[in-house]
Structure 1
Amino acid sequence: MPTPLEITPSLSIDEDEIAWRAVRASGPGGQHVNKTSTAVELRFDVAASPSLPEDVKQRLIALAGSRATQEGVLVLFAQNSRSQEMNRQDALARLVDLIRQAAHRPKARRPTRPTYASKLKRLEGKTRRAGVKSMRGRPRGED
């Protein structure tokens, strides 16, 4: 039986929705890097996930950016540690963090209108500025 991975108190995903693959890490590390597969690739199919509401799926794919494929699969790569288990935990923590951010519904912007006093103040400032600029011109002679 798959254990649910709790994201928020009202949102969780099953661990069997996550696909893992161990790969060789890149970069320095000598012989250890060459012979062990310590890096981890996490794949989570956002589009086909039954655990996430539709609005969360859309925000998650938008947040993921280039880490999401055209098919809606989120791919996270972790290779910071020499331990495969620590890389798995790191990738899982990053996935949970991304889903938490996506689960947060942004506050809708309500358009506001300027007050009458602020309109008058703006127009008064424009008039004052126009007066200053008009004094900079060439003096008009009354010939």
Structure 2
Amino acid sequence: MNDFKKIGIGLTSFGLAFMILGVLLLFDKALLAMGDLLFLAGVTLIIGVQRSYRFFFQRKKAKGSALFFGGMLLVLVGWPVIGMGVEVFGFINLFGDFFPIAIAFLRRMPIVGNFMTLPGVRVVVDKLAASPPKLPV
């Protein structure tokens, strides 16, 4: 793992932390905007500029990208609650394919894995981990 990926993981983590903090502090516009920018910068450093461009601007991910970036724009304009709603919907459309992989990774972690086996949490996690059925095109 090179230094760019390490910095990217840090920026992405800080971006998610700023977004969570912004939501907890009643949708603080500045924290949410900073979280969005840090998250995007971190993802770009982790996978590279060219791969980030190809990821966000694929034809099949156009709707998710438009919603994600549109939500960021709404947060910057001054409508943080609506912007975060739109952004979360776009995030799920963009990164929904990675949820089963992330959940499988989290299940192997010591403390988080134990938490994910609790009865109420397990039902939700199993539904998230189930990959959606592939529709014929």
Short-chain TM bin: under 0.3
**TM-score where L is the length of structure 2:** 0.27
More helix as a share of residues = 2
- Structure with more of its chain in strand, by fraction: 1
For the pair shown, which has the larger CA radius of gyration, 1 or 2? 1
If the length of structure 1 is used for normalisation, what is the TM-score?
Answer: 0.26
